[in-house]
Amino acid sequence: MLAMENYRLFLALLVFAFAVGFVSVVFVVRWVLHFREGLGWDGGAAEFNWHPLLVVIGFIFLQGIAIVVYRLPWTWKCSKLMMKFIHAGLNVLAFILAAISLVAVFDFHNTQNIPNMYSLHSWVGLTAVILYSLQIVLGIGIYLLPISPVHLRAVFMPIHVYSGLFIFTSVIAAALMGITEKLIFGLKDPKYKDSPPEATFVNVLGLLISVFGGLILWIATRPSWKRPNEQLLRSQLNSADTAMSERPDLEPNSDTRGKNGKM
Ligand code: HEM
């Protein structure tokens, strides 16, 4: 594997982020199945429940993984094109799940004669979905279609990175508002302020989502954990090959990192 600065810290944070994200998904599943009405597509509460479930799985967990996927050092051997497909694919999947979750909540509101788009949660949430669709279309157009000029790719990159992190942060904010609203609307007797078990459980879900967001943002903003540029990668791979051919005692596919994690 190719060298990465502070590899152990990276790995620890990544595993922690993945675990927290996974536990958030388990929590939202338990919330809708155990504390709420389960899942269904009948215009009632069970249809609404798809909304938080798909948002946490797709828009939060999958989007978070998609953001850090280039940074996994064991993928640095893979071609950049393949990594772009994985990054774009995860984001498209997250978008599809977010879109289905919106259909569920709009359908629920229309069936129950509840007004649409009145809350700050819905404004922030829908804006994030619209920006996300734009981010995906521009990202695919500029970085996956072979016709776009190289200088455009370079000029647009800081905007792509910034807007990706901005959208992800907005999604976390929208989720926290949505969770709070749902607890206030949904808990009648006892009320939210009486701290029934569901309230405590879902407050913990909100904390887990925030911690997941914080870890992903930290991992994604460390310059030293960036995937090295392609030229540097090729020269590192070449020198690894040379070192190996000069060491007959090493198996051709053995790990060439030393004790300190360097090549
Ligand atoms: C983070 C991504 C999310 C986005 C993009 C999002 C988006 C939206 C949108 C656009 C609406 C308006 C639907 C309408 O007016 O008919 C809505 C409603 C709602 N959402 Fe979310 N949502 C998200 C997460 C959540 C989560 C995690 C919950 C937790 C249960 C939640 C709870 C609600 C509730 C209770 C409503 C109905 C009340 C209202 O319109 O504010 N949302 N959401």
Residue 240's pLDDT is what? 63
What is the DSSP-derived secondary structure letter of residue 34? Answer: I
Query: pLDDT tens for residues 199-209?
Result: 999 999 999 99
How many alpha carbons lie under 13 Å from residue 157 in its C-beta half-sphere?
Answer: 6
Residue 1's pLDDT is what? 64
Does ligand 1 lie within 6 Å of residue 127's CB atom? Answer: no
Residue 242's pLDDT is what? 63
Using CB atoms within 10 Å of the CB of residue 37, give its burial: 0 to 12 exposed, 13 to 18 middle, 19+ buried: middle
**Rg of the chain on CA atoms, in Å:** 22
For the domain bounded by 7-144+156-227, which CATH number is listed?
A: 1.20.120.1770
Give the residue, by CA position, lying nearest to ligand 1 atom 3. 125
Residue 191 token pair: 């009320």
Residues ≥6 apart with Cβ < 8 Å to 134: none
- What's the CA-to-centroid distance between 174 and ligand 1, angstroms? 8
Query: Which amino acid, residue 201?
Result: F
Does ligand 1 lie within 6 Å of residue 33's CB atom? Answer: no
For the chain, 263 residues long, the average pLDDT of each consecutive 10-residue run is 88 98 98 98 98 98 98 94 97 98 98 98 98 98 94 97 98 98 97 98 98 98 93 72 51 34 34
Query: pLDDT tens for residues 23-41?
Result: 999 999 999 999 999 999 9
Residue 3's pLDDT is what? 81
**Burial annotation 224-235 (CB, 10 A radius, 16+ → b, else e):** ebebeeeeeeee
- What's the CA-to-centroid distance between 86 and ligand 1, angstroms? 28
Q: What is the largest CA-CA distance in the chain?
A: 75
Q: How far apart are the C-alpha atoms of 203 and 175, rounded to whole Å?
A: 12
Going by C-alpha positions, the residue among 89, 69, 54, 94 that lies closest to residue 18 is: 69
Q: What are phi and psi of 49, to 5 degrees?
A: -60, -20
Query: Which amino acid, residue 116?
Result: N
Does ligand 1 lie within 6 Å of residue 55's CB atom? Answer: yes
Residue 232's pLDDT is what? 75
- What's the CA-to-centroid distance between 38 and ligand 1, angstroms? 17
Residue 256's pLDDT is what? 32
Residue 158 token pair: 């800081």
Q: How far apart are the C-alpha atoms of 97 and 99, rounded to whole Å?
A: 5
Q: For the chain, which residues make up each domain, given as ranges?
A: 7-144+156-227, 230-263
Q: Helices marked H in 112-149 — which ranges?
A: 120-139
Q: Which atom of ligand 1 is nearest to the CA of 28?
A: 27
Q: In what helix (H) or strand (E) does residue 153 lie, and over which residues does it extend?
A: helix 150-186
